Each structure stands twice: as C-alpha cells, then as structure tokens.
Structure 1
C-alpha cells in the first residue's frame, strides 16, 4: 500500500540543496561572482581558493539552517503584555 506524507510537512518551506530559497540565492550570487573572477583572472590558485570559499559558504549556510538559534540574540515579543503603568509607588502595602 502506498503511503503519503502528512500535509503539514509541505508548509515547512521550499528547500533547494537543503537551503531555503533566500540562502540558496545568496549562494548562487557567490557562485556567479566567483565565476566572473575566474573568467577575468585565470590562474590555478584563484580557482582553488574560490572553490574552497564557495564550499565553505555552502557548509556554513547548511550549519546555520540546521541550528537557527546561533544568531538569535533577543526575543521579539515580551513574555507578558500589560496595560499597567510602571510606577514606583506600592499600593499593596
């Protein structure tokens, strides 16, 4: 019998080579820039350096996708929302 994935898995987002579309676009911009550098300054050292830099960028982006909490510095919303005015007087005594 054929099995299908649960529908909620579709809502996780599109991934290309394990990266979200925005990070994949960043990677492709880096690759195209590297190709331009290779075309206009053709040497073996530059080719090897750019290949290693592109691979390093790819693996770094994969690591960031797997653990998104690395650069999450602060919470966006407070834990509680209140209309109570902040006052130094204590009315509970």
Structure 2
C-alpha cells in the first residue's frame, strides 16, 4: 500500500521555478513579450539573443530572491491583534 507524507509547509509562500509568484509573473511577462518580438521580427540575431536575455533575467531574479533585495513595502498586518480598547492615558504620558 502506498504511503503519503503529510505536507507540513502549508504556511510557506508559493514558489514556482524557485521564484515567488510576483517574480514568476514578471518572468512570464518577459517571456510573452520576447515571444511576440521573435514572432514579428525576422532577424536571426533576435532569435538567438532574446532567449539568452530571458535566461539572464531568470538568473538575476533567482539571485534577487536569494538575497531578498527586491523592495518589500512592509507588513500588511500588525504584529499583534487585540480587541482591547486603547486607553487614552498611558503610563508614558503621566
């Protein structure tokens, strides 16, 4: 009988080809644009150079993901959630 492992990384973010979804979408847009350029251009140089440019972009995006240097605009959620009302007077204001 076949055994299945429990998937424990459910809280990790989605990754496609080693890229998070936003960078993967950027890569797919680049590939679609390059396919349009290849279709409508009749130059052998373009046909050879565009896949090379896509490969370079993929390596750059992988390195950006590895060192986390692409811009992150902060967290969407607060660090702590609470239903307690905030007091008007705190110890620091006394």
- TM-score tier after normalising by the smaller chain length: 0.5 to 0.7
Q: Give the unaligned 5+ runs of structure 1.
A: 77-83, 85-93
Give every structure 1 segment of 4 or more consecutive aligned residues whose post-TM-superposition deviation is greater than 3 Å: 2-6
Shift of 1:10: 2.1
Q: Which has the higher helix share?
A: 1
Aligned residue-pair number? 76
Q: Report Cα offsets for 1:48-77 as digits up to 9, x if no partner.
A: 111111000000000011110x356xxx6x
Q: Give the superposed CA RMSD.
A: 2.8
Q: Which runs of 5+ in 2 are unaligned?
A: 75-91
Matches within 5 A, 1:1-16: 4=5, 7=8, 9-16=9-16
TM-score normalized by the length of structure 1: 0.66
